Structure 1
Amino acid sequence: MNETLAIILYIVIGLAVVGGLVPVFLKARKNTQNYTGPRDANDPVGSSADTNATGTLLEERPDAGAPPSTVETVQGDTAEQTVSALETPLPVEGRLVRLRSRLAKSNNALGKGLLALLSSEKIDESVWEEIEETLLLADIGTDSTMELVDVLRERVKVLGTRTPEHVRAMLREELIKLVDPSMDRSLNIDRHEDRPAVLMVVGVNGVGKTTTVGKLARVLVAEDKDIILGAADTFRAAAAEQLATWGARVGVPTVKSDVDGADPASVAFEAVKAGIDGEVDVVMIDTAGRLQNKVGLMDELGKVKRVIEKQATVDEVLLVLDATTGQNGLTQAKVFADVVNITGIVLTKLDGTAKGGIVVAIQKTLGVPVKLIGLGEGADDLAPFEAESFVDALLS
């Protein structure tokens, strides 16, 4: 009899505990929805011929042992996000002008150094050597340095007088030519007739890709774009949550996996699928950082792009580079360009370096424009690159 009472008591306690946990579980999940968008026969993730039970692509899966995952869409405007109220990003127009003082300070050595040298009473061979050294230290590159020095030599000889005003005007004109204002720096983010524009962000570890995607989301929201973020960096702990938090701050949803190490191509595919179904303007895909000399990781990046293109073209591939890496950034850029056809550069950490000349070196080497620059840690410190404003900041 006592044993029977004990069993009944255990059952009652168990039911009470389960009953208490259910509301907590439901509350934790109420602002997250599993993405189960419509499928069709031609859908590469929906077809049983090339996927497993979790929707992970088998034909190009990087790791057969990767854990199964559920792809979910986290709404950017829910009450349970870490940010309680939506923020209003600063207007895009004039951002670089507002940040000019910061840029001028960071590149002080280049602009002021050149002005001082060219304003010298006597410009002999030793001065020209100093000018060359200043340009090389700013990572402008050997070819561009020689080209600029030759032009400056000729103009100084013809100029006759070297007042600071004349020197500054001459230097400004030649630097603007070198930075090349004729390059198209606009982002390809216009929605197509039947699908959104797709933008991928790539780069090595530690350059700030996820932060750049979050800041770029603010730029697009400020331009009244309807966007979705795709957290395809599935290998770095908390990368998806970091991206979702950036999106939440401006009311942008994030498509992510709930399992670390999930197939990034599947997540990217689902993000684009959600963008098509939701008729948004732009889908932005954050990718995992990778070393440019790791062949397997670079191949995986190419795979992500190919999987996306099963349902939509990739309109923009932005390579994020750290300005402090100097010429090493050129090596990175060349490898990434071979794998995913880079369409633009985002240059970060220009606020703490005198390496602004890397803008010139990258563009000359790849023929790809610098489209955005990061000038600080602030949420709105990402600005569209403008050649004339950039040079004016160097010479301030």
Structure 2
Amino acid sequence: MAKISFAQKIKNLFSSHSKEDEEFFEDLADALIEGDIGARNAMELVDQLEAECKDGKIHGQEAILQKMKDVLSTYVKSVEFKPLENKVNVWMMLGVNGVGKTTTCAKIANSLVKSGYESVVLSASDTFRAAAIEQLCYHGEKIGVRVVNHQHGSDPSSVVFDAAESIKAHGGGLVIADTAGRLHNKENLVHELEKIDRICSQKADEGCYKKILVIDSTTGQNALRQAEVFNEAIGVDAIVMTKYDSTAKGGVAISIGKDLGIPVFYVCTGETYGDISLFDSEEYLNTFLGI
């Protein structure tokens, strides 16, 4: 059975209610929860929307959706990072196993190379999962980007160190570092990330270090919890949403923006290297709400 998008649920909501009364707003909150906004955020957002609609005498599907978009747009932000020329830039890619982190590293590298920024090196810093090193080397070969890697089980921070040194020796560029994501052993993961974080901070030039979290946009509130863990451990500058399309519930970008203030950098929509684009908050909200 095909999944009903949040936009379709909203459309159904308006057609099944003759007026925007208390029951309508309760059902709207339920729809937001199903759209991965989370219960607390859904209630807060709907309370705010209901109050603003009442004060402004706003009625009808078009006007209410526009007001809802205004409310949500304060939380959903886009961001674009660009590596600075002739500087050592480091982007540490974070995320749990299975979200498409290694492939996302390759997609970002490929996108930058295609746009004319050729000084990119991939750092295979997920040394825990043997397949991750092989996978990144495979991607590097396919897209023509050099991969710095050590043997399986070696110190992840030493791989970043070598990649950054290599970039520095070539007069600057960008290191995209793939890292491990073993959340079931949170203490070890945090300890490991803190060490890599220190090395990245030391090796990158001022203002050239970014921590980017990859989340699977179909996992909803799990993705929010992952963002909380990584943000608490070392801080997160932006997220990349994988497996994103208009049928995905996708509301987690709103939750992460509202609760943690983290903007979205890229969205990935498929398996190929070209299936990545900069996040457009306007387009996202229009799709989410069916405007």
User: TM-score by structure 1 length?
Assistant: 0.65
Trace 1:352-391 onto structure 2 (pairs within 5 A).
Answer: 354-391=248-285
Deviation at 1:216, TM superposition (A): 0.8
Map residues 185-204 of structure 1 onto 2, 5 A cutoff. Answer: 185-191=79-85, 193=86, 195-204=87-96
Matched residues, percent identical? 38
Pick one of 203, 210, 213 that aligns with 1:311: 203
The 3 A distance-change label for structure 1 pair 184 and 377 is: closer
The structure number with the bigger radius of gyration is 1
Once residues 188 and 341 of structure 1 are traced to their aligned partners in structure 2, the CA distance between those partners, rounded to angstroms, is 19
Q: Encode CA deviations 1:145-176: one digit per residue, 9 max, x unaligned.
A: 234323443465555752xxxx2354144225
The yes-or-no answer on 1:113 pairing with 2:5 is: no
* Stretch of structure 1 that moved more, 124-133 or 174-183: 174-183
Q: Distance in 2 between matches of 1:160 and 1:179?
A: 18
Tell me if structure 2 keeps the 8 A contact 1:188–1:197.
no
1:143 is displaced (CA, Å) by 4.0
RMSD value over aligned CA atoms? 2.5
Residue in structure 2 matched with residue 7 of structure 1 by the alignment:
none
Q: Flag the 1:176–1:154 CA change in 2: closer, same or farther, 3 A.
A: closer
1:237 to 121, 130, 140: 130
- Measured in 2, the distance between the counterparts of 1:303 and 1:366 equals 23
SS of the aligned residue for 2:90 comes to strand
Q: What do the CA deviations read for 1:306-352 (whole angstroms, capped 9, x no partner)?
A: 12333325611001111222212222212211222210011112238
How do 1:26-37 residues align onto structure 2 when only pairs under 5 Å count? none
Give the counterpart letter for 1:331 in structure 2: R
Q: Which residue of 1 aligns with 2:141?
A: 248
TM-score, normalising length from structure 2? 0.87
1:208-238 per-position Cα deviation (integer Å, ceiling 9, x unaligned): 1101101111221122112111111112123
CA distance in 2, matches of 1:342, 1:382: 20
Deviation at 1:139, TM superposition (A): 1.4
Could you say if the C-alpha distance between residues 383 and 284 of structure 1 is closer, same or farther in structure 2, counting changes exceeding 3 Å?
Answer: same
Of 175-184 and 281-290, the range deviating more from structure 2: 175-184
Deviation at 1:261, TM superposition (A): 1.0
Cα distance in 2, alignment partners of residues 267 and 216 from structure 1:
19
Q: 1:156 to 1:184 in 2, by over 3 A?
A: closer
Q: Which runs of 5+ in 2 are unaligned?
A: none
**For 1:346, what is the secondary structure of its paired residue?**
strand
Query: How far apart are 1:107 and its partner, in Å?
Result: 8.1
Cα pair distance change 1:311/1:391, threshold 3 Å: closer
Gapped regions of structure 1 (runs ≥ 5): 1-105
Question: Do the aligned partners of residues 107 and 318 (structure 1) sit closer, same or farther apart at CA in structure 2, a change above 3 Å counting?
Answer: farther
Q: 1:387 to 1:176 in 2, by over 3 A?
A: farther
Please, which of 121, 129, 135 is the counterpart of residue 228 of structure 1? 121
1:11-90 matched pairs, under 5 angstroms:
none
Verify the 8 A CA contact 1:319 1:346 in the aligned structure 2: yes
Distance apart, 1:250 and its partner CA? 2.5
